[in-house]
C-alpha cells in the first residue's frame, strides 16, 4: 500500500497535525527518538533562532496501539498555544514580500487564514518532522539512514559529504553541533553570519546537503523517478527553491569523460569509483549513497521597511514587519529536509 | 479531470508512444505545429548532433475525431524503423557508465530490453514532445506560452531571460537559431565547444532555462506545489539532474533584503518589481513569468575507453562504445524540457 | 483539485476524525446542519438502536476560518469518551463471525487495535457523516440534493422512490420519521421486525435506496464511471455488500424493449420517460435522478452462541457476545450511505 | 508499484488498445492463452451472437522482450478493420435509448466520435480481455484462478457456484460449453431465450457470477476495500448496472444468526463453514473463495422502433436501429467480467 501523508492546520487555528496512510503495522513508535527529532526543529536559544517558545508536543490520536503502529491511518496532532492573533490585524492586508500572502489570497479567494501565515506557516513543518521521524524509524530497520548538514550559509561553505564514503556515523556528530555542519570552523563562521544578518535587520539563505546511506539498488522507475519523488515532497517544504542530485548544476559545465562514474567489482559487490550521479541512474537507485542539495531562500520576514501593496484597498504600501523573526532557518530546516527525504525514500521503498 | 500521460515503448521494439487521459474535448490538433515541434527534437545535420536518421512521424490511434480531441484517451504511436539489434549483442553485458544499464537490470530482474537503452532510451522523448506540443496548443488558447534556451553549455554562458520582462516574442527567434540561444555569439561558441567535445571523444553538459509567460495568478497549492508538479515531470526526462526556480541556488548566498521581491500596484494590476522567486510563492503562481533552470548532464555515451563491469559474469571490464553518439543533447533537450513544462502547467491549470 | 478524504481513528483510542483535502474555499460551515446530520446517525432511544450514549461532537481543528472553509486541508476530530476497554480482554482472541476480527488480524499482523473493532468499528462512520454533511452543504449550492430511505428491512418493503419524479421535498419528511421510510405503515412494521430480532437475540439486514436530485448532465466518464466512484466509496462503509443502479439486478431478467429508457424533448429540455438506468448512461449522468440501492448485512454482533476460533491458540471456540448491540443498523446507516453518496457526487463534480 | 491500465480507442478509429503500467518483469507472455481468451470474447456462430467478423489480433508494441514482460509500460494495440462509417451518418443525430449517445455528447461537448459508439463501444472490451489474460497468467503463478458463468439469463437460472467448495476445475468445463454455464440444461434453455429475443427483435439481460479461488487471506483494507477495487473496475465495463458479494442483496431480508459465517479450525487452517460474505470481511479477503455477481442489462441496440430525440435539431424522433446486433452479450461478457476481476485482484495483491 502506498505511503501517503497529509499535513493539516493553520498557525493560529486550534491545532496542526498529520495523517499517514499506508504505514506498515508493528513498527515500534520510539517516542524518545521522535521527541529528539522534534527538538532539533525547535527554536534555539542564544539568538540563533526565533525566541518564540513552542511546545509542539505531538499527541497521537490514532494508528498506534500498545506502542506500535497498527497499519491503519495514524493521526498526530499538536495543539496551538495561546497565540495573540490581534498582532495581525494591523498588517493583515499588507502582502509580505517573498511570502505567500498574495498568492494564497488569490488561490483561496480571500478565505484563507492569514494569521501567522495560516497553512503556509513554517509551523506546519512540525508535523512533517514528526512524520519524518516515523519514517526514519522504519528506514533504520532496513539499514537505511538519512542525515543532512548546512553546506552553505550566505558566504560560508561547509565541507561537503564525501559522495562515495559518507557514513551514518557522521550524522550524530553533525546534529550535536550548535549548527549542523561537518566543519567546526564553518559552524562558527555561520553563527557570525547569522548574528550579522540579525543586527542588519535582514536574513540569510543557504544550502542543505542530504545523504541517504544503506540504500538498496533498484528503487525507482524511469517514469516515476526517485529524484522526482524526492523533489515533489521537497518543494512542499516552505522556502525550498531548488534541488540538485550529486554533482547537480556542476554537470552543466562538465565533460562526460570527467564525470561518468566508473564501475568496478568489489568482490561480489558492484561499486562506483565516483558518485557524481548522486546514487541515482535512470531514476533508479544505484546502491551508492543518495546525495542531493536543496537551496533555502533567506527568511522572507525581515524588519527593514519594504515596498508592498495593500491587498484589500489595492494601493501601494510600505511594510515594516514587527516582532522577532528567525534571521536564518537553515538549522531548523535541516531536520525538516531530512524528514521530507525519509518520507520520500520510504514511499519509494514501500512501493516496490 | 486530471491530465495524465503515460509514455511507453523501447528503443528497438516495435514502437514507442504516449497515452494522454483527461484531455479537454474540442482542442484543434494542429499537426503542422506538432510536426514542427517534433522537428526541433530531431537530430541536426552538420555534426551538431547524431547523424542517425529518425523519421518519428507520430500516428494518432485514438482520441481525435475530425481534427479535434474527443476528450477520451488519446494514443499516438511512432513505429521504430529497421534497427540493427545485432549491434548490441557484443556489449550487452557491459554496463555503460552513467547510463541506467546496471540500475535498470537490477530493477527489472534482468528482463528489461537492453537494446539501445530500451525504455530508458532518449528516443522515448519523441512521444513526450508530441504530448507537450498538444499541451502547448491548449495553453496557447489560455494565453500561456512556454519557451526555453540553452543558458549554459560547458564553459559558455548565454544571456539569461529577463525574469520580469521575458516575452514570448523571443521564443520564435531562439528556436530559429542553429542552437536555441538568446545571444548569437553564445550560439557560435557553443557550437565550437560541441565540435571540440566530439573530436576529443567526449561529451558536454549544460543548463536549460525555461520561461512560462501569461501564467494566471493562484495556480498550485502549498501541499502540491507548482514547483513540485514541474520537478516531478522534469526528473522523468533522461539526463536531468537538478532544477531551480528563479534565483535558485543563488538564494543560498543571498540576504533577504536583496532578494525579497517588492510589490507595487500597476493601475489595477499587482506587479513584482523583481522576480527572484521565479513566479511562484508558497507553491502558487504569482502572475509573474514562471522561470526555472534544469541541468542536463553530459551524454553518457562517449567513445573513450571506460572502466565498467560485466553484469552477467560479474567481472571488471573495459568498454569502448562504438557508433556515433551525440556529444551534446542540449539543443534537442530544450524542446523536450519545454514539453515536460507545458504538460506540467496544463496539469496544474486543469486541476483547478 | 480533487476532493479526497481520509478517515482515521479507532473505537477505543484517543479519538476519531477525518481530513478533507481539495475542498473549495469560502463554503459556509453550517454547524447546525452538520449537528443535525450527526444526530441522525446517533443511537435512538426506545430500543430501536444501541443504548450506548455517544456524544460525538466534532471539533474542527483546521481548514475553517471565520465560519468558512479556507480551502486548505480540513481536519475534524471527535474525542473518544471514557470507554471501558477491559470489557474486551476476555474475548479478544475470539474472532466474531461476520466481523473483520480475523481478516484484520491477518492483514495487520496482529498489531491492529482489537478493542471495540478498532479501525473497523461502526463508530468510524461518525466522521464520515461529518464529511458528508459538508459535501451536502456544497452540493446544495449547486442545486443538488441527496436523500435516502430504508427500502427493505428483513421481510418488510417500503414504497420505492419514483425513479423519474423523486423530489427533495420528500427527504425531510422521510428523515422526520422514527425510521427513515416513505410509508408510515412500513415504518411501523419495520420497528416490529427490529424488536422481534432483538428479543430473538439476532439481527436483521436491509436495503437502503438513495436518490440524488438536481444532478447536471455529463458528469462521469466511461473509464472512471460515476457508478464506479460511488461504489468504491460505498464499499468502504461497514456492512455494505452490494450496490445496484436503477433497475439494478432487475435487468437480469428483463428484455431490452421493456427497459430501454425512451427519450423525449420537453420544451428545450431532454427528458427520459423512464429511468431504469438510474440516471447514469455509459458511466455519465443523464440529468435524471441518480438512484441506487445498497444492501446492508445484518449486524454481525448477536447474542446467540456462535461457532468460532481462538485466533491466538488456534483452537475451536464458542462465542457469546455480551453487551447490548444494535439488532439493526439500517436507520443509522441511511445517513451514512447518504454521506458517502454526497462525497462521491462532490468528487465527480469537482473533477470536471 | 501499483498496477494501472488505460484503455484507449474508438470503434471506428484507427485502432484500440491498452497500456499497462506497474506490471512485474519476467512474466511469460503466453500468447496461446491470451489468444484463447480473446476468442472467448469473439462473436459466436449459430446466431447466438453478432455475425460481424472481428479479427482482434492484438499486437504488442512495448513492454515485452524475448517473450517476457520487461516491467516497463506494456502497450498492445488492435487495428480496426475496414469499417463502413457511412452507415452511421443517417442516424448520427439520434440518441439510441439506453446508450451513452446523449450523455457522451454532453460530456464531450459534441466532439466525441459517435461512429459505432466510439470510445463507448463494446469493442473496447477486447483490450480489456487482453489485459485480463495477462493478469490471469500472473495470478496463476500465485495459485489464484478466476472463473465465471451465466447465473441468470432472462427467466433461466443456472446452478450457482458452491460458495465454499467452488473449484477451478469447473472453469474449463464451463468455458467449453456453447454458453458458459454450469448446468447443461440451463445452457440449452438460455440459447432458446436468446433465439426468442432475436426473433422478437429485442434483447435480454442476465447475471454473471464470478469466483476467485486460491485467494490469500488479508488482501484489501477497510478504507480501500477489495469490494471497492473490484466494483470500480467493474462499472467501467459497459452494461454493468450492479454488483453484490456473496449473499449480496439476499442479506437484505436475512437475519444475523442465519447468515453469519461460522468459523472452525481445519487442522492448522482457519475455515468458514459458510461463505455468505463472499470471501471478504471488512474489505479484506478471508481466504475463502471471492464470489460475486454482476448484472448486465439487455443490449441497448434493438431493432424495434423506439422513441428518442434528435440531439442536433432538438426534436422528438423515432429510431429503428438497422443491422444485426447481439440480442444478448452475456456469453461474451463473461470473459470480460473475468478480465476486470483478474486485473482488480492483481491490483490488490500487487499493492501489498
The pTM of this model reads 0.96
Sorted by sequence, the CB contacts under 8 Å of residue C298 that are 6+ apart come out as C197, C202, C203, C204, C205, C328, D251, D254, D255, D256, D259, D260
| Closest CA–CA distance from residue A308 to any residue of chain C (Å) | 24
Cβ separation D351–A2 shorter than 8 A: yes
Give the residues across from C260 on adjacent strands: none
The per-residue pLDDT of chain D, averaged, comes to 94
Alpha carbons within 13 angstroms on the beta-carbon side of residue B316 total 11
- Contact list in A for residue D21 (CB cut-off 8 A) is 223
Cβ separation A222–B100 shorter than 8 A: yes
Q: Which of D152, D153, D241 sits opposite C246 (nearest CB)?
A: D241
Q: How many CB pairs below 8 Å do chains A and D form together?
A: 19
Complex confidence, ipTM: 0.96
Q: For each of chain A's 352 residues, which pLDDT tens digit applies?
A: 899 999 999 999 999 999 999 999 999 999 999 999 999 998 665 555 554 555 678 999 999 999 999 999 999 999 998 665 555 566 789 999 999 999 999 999 999 999 989 999 999 999 999 999 999 999 999 999 999 999 999 999 999 999 999 999 999 999 999 999 999 999 999 999 999 999 999 999 999 999 999 999 999 999 999 999 999 999 999 999 999 999 999 999 999 999 999 999 999 999 999 999 999 999 999 999 999 999 999 999 999 999 999 999 999 999 998 877 889 999 999 999 999 999 999 999 999 8
Say whether pLDDT at D42 is over 90. no
Among D210, D208, D212, residue whose Cα is nearest residue D285: D212
Kindly state the percentage of chain C with pLDDT values over 90: 89
pLDDT band at residue B84 under the 50/70/90 scheme: low
* Phi, psi for D210 (deg, rounded to 5): -120, 140
Kindly state the percentage of chain D with pLDDT values over 90: 89
CATH architecture group of domain C4-351:
4-Layer Sandwich (3.60)
Cβ separation A73–D223 shorter than 8 A: yes
Looking at residue D188, its pLDDT comes to: 98
- Contact list in A for residue D221 (CB cut-off 8 A) is 1
Cβ separation B97–A260 shorter than 8 A: yes
The 3-state secondary structure of B31-97 reads HHHHHHHHHHHCCCCCCCCCCCCCCCCCEEEECEECCEECCCCEEEEEECCCCCHHHHCCCCCECCC
Average pLDDT over residues B116-131: 95
- CA nearest A224 in D: which residue? D1
- Contact list in A for residue D1 (CB cut-off 8 A) is 221, 224, 351-352
Q: Which of D16, D65, D113 sits opposite B65 (nearest CB)?
A: D113
Q: How many CB pairs below 8 Å do chains A and B form together?
A: 334
Looking at residue D82, its pLDDT comes to: 64
Other chains touching A, judged by 3 or more CB pairs under 8 Å: B, C, D
Spans of all domains in chain A: 4-351
Looking at residue A240, its pLDDT comes to: 98
pLDDT band at residue C322 under the 50/70/90 scheme: confident
Cβ separation D61–B15 shorter than 8 A: yes
Q: Which of D6, D8, D73 sits opposite B61 (nearest CB)?
A: D8
The 3-state secondary structure of chain C reads CCCEEEEEECCCCCEEEEEEECCCCCCECCHHHHHHHHHHHCCCCCCCCCCCCCCCCCEEEECEECCEECCCCEEEEEECCCCCHHHHCCCCCECCCCCCHHHHHHHCCCCCCCHHHHHHCHHHHHHHHHHHHHHHHHHHHCCCEEEEEEEEECCEECCCCCCCCCCCHHHHHHHHCCCCCCCHHHHHHHHHHHHHHHHCCCCECEEEEEEEECCCCCCCCCCCCHHHHHHHHHCCCCCEEEEEECCHHHHHHCEHHHHCCCEEEECCEEEECCCCCCCEECCEECCCCEEEEEEECCCCCCCCCEEEEECCCCEEEEECCCCCCCCCCHHHHHHHHHHHHHHHHHHHHHCC
pLDDT in tens, C28-42: 999 999 999 999 998
Q: Which of D201, D251, D256 sits opposite C302 (nearest CB)?
A: D256
Looking at residue A75, its pLDDT comes to: 98
Average pLDDT over residues B137-153: 98
Cβ separation C70–A14 shorter than 8 A: no
Looking at residue B87, its pLDDT comes to: 57
Q: Which of C10, C70, C108 sits opposite A113 (nearest CB)?
A: C70
pLDDT in tens, D120-151: 999 999 999 999 999 999 999 999 999 999 99
Other chains touching D, judged by 3 or more CB pairs under 8 Å: A, B, C
Among C261, C250, C266, C238, residue whose Cα is nearest residue C326: C238
| Closest CA–CA distance from residue A216 to any residue of chain D (Å) | 16
Looking at residue B42, its pLDDT comes to: 87
Cβ separation A6–C19 shorter than 8 A: yes
pLDDT band at residue C50 under the 50/70/90 scheme: low
Cβ separation D244–C244 shorter than 8 A: yes
Other chains touching B, judged by 3 or more CB pairs under 8 Å: A, C, D
Average pLDDT over residues C38-61: 73
CA A128 from centre of chain: 8
Q: Are D180 and D171 spatial neighbours (Cβ–Cβ below 8 Å)?
A: no
The per-residue pLDDT of chain C, averaged, comes to 94
Phi-psi domain of B222 (left: phi exceeds 0; alpha: psi -120 through 50; beta: other): alpha
| Closest CA–CA distance from residue D16 to any residue of chain A (Å) | 23
Looking at residue C201, its pLDDT comes to: 96
- Contact list in A for residue C107 (CB cut-off 8 A) is 71
Looking at residue B83, its pLDDT comes to: 60
Amino acid at each position: 500500500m502506498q505511503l501517503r501523508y497529509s499535513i493539516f492546520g493553520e498557525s493560529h487555528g486550534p491545532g496542526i497535525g498529520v495523517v499517514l496512510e499506508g504505514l506498515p503495522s508493528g513498527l515500534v513508535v520510539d517516542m524518545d527518538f521522535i521527541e529528539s527529532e522534534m527538538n532539533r526543529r525547535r527554536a534555539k536559544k542564544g539568538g540563533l533562532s526565533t525566541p518564540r517558545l513552542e511546545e509542539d508536543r505531538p499527541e497521537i490520536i490514532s494508528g498506534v496501539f500498545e506502542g506500535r503502529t497498527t497499519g491503519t491511518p495514524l493521526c498526530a496532532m499538536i495543539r496551538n498555544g495561546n497565540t495573540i492573533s490581534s498582532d495581525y490585524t494591523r498588517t493583515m492586508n499588507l502582502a509580505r514580500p517573498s511570502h505567500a500572502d498574495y498568492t494564497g489570497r488569490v488561490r483561496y479567494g480571500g478565505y484563507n487564514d492569514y494569521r501567522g501565515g495560516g497553512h503556509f506557516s513554517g509551523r506546519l513543518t512540525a508535523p512533517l518532522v514528526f512524520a519524518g521521524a516515523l519514517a526514519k524509524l522504519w528506514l533504520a530497520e532496513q539499514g537505511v539512514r538519512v542525515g543532512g548538514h548546512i553546506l552553505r550559509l550566505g558566504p560560508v561553505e561547509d565541507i561537503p559529504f564525501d559522495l562515495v564514503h559518507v557514513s551514518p556515523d557522521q550524522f550524530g556528530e553533525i546534529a550535536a553541533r550548535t549548527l549542523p555542519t561537518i566543519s567546526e570552523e564553518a559552524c562558527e563562521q555561520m553563527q557570525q553570519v547569522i548574528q550579522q544578518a540579525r543586527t542588519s535587520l535582514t536574513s540569510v539563505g543557504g544550502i542543505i546537503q542530504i545523504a541517504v546511506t544503506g540504500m538498496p539498488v533498484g528503487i525507482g522507475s524511469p517514469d516515476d523517478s526517485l529524484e522526482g519523488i524526492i523533489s515533489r515532497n521537497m518543494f512542499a517544504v516552505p522556502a525550498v527553491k531548488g534541488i540538485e542530485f550529486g554533482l547537480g548544476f556542476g554537470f552543466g559545465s562538465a565533460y562526460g569523460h570527467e564525470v561518468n562514474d566508473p564501475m568496478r567489482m568489489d568482490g561480489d559487490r558492484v561499486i562506483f569509483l565516483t558518485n557524481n550521479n548522486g546514487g541515482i541512474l535512470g531514476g533508479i537507485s544505484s546502491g551508492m549513497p543518495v546525495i542531493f542539495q536543496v537551496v533555502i531562500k533567506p527568511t522572507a520576514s525581515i524588519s527593514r521597511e519594504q515596498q508592498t501593496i495593500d491587498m484589500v484597498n489595492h494601493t501601494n504600501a510600505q511594510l515594516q514587519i514587527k516582532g522577532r523573526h528567525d534571521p536564518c532557518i537553515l538549522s531548523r530546516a535541516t531536520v525538516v529536509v531530512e524528514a521530507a527525504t525519509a518520507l520520500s525514500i520510504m514511499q519509494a521503498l514501500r512501493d516496490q
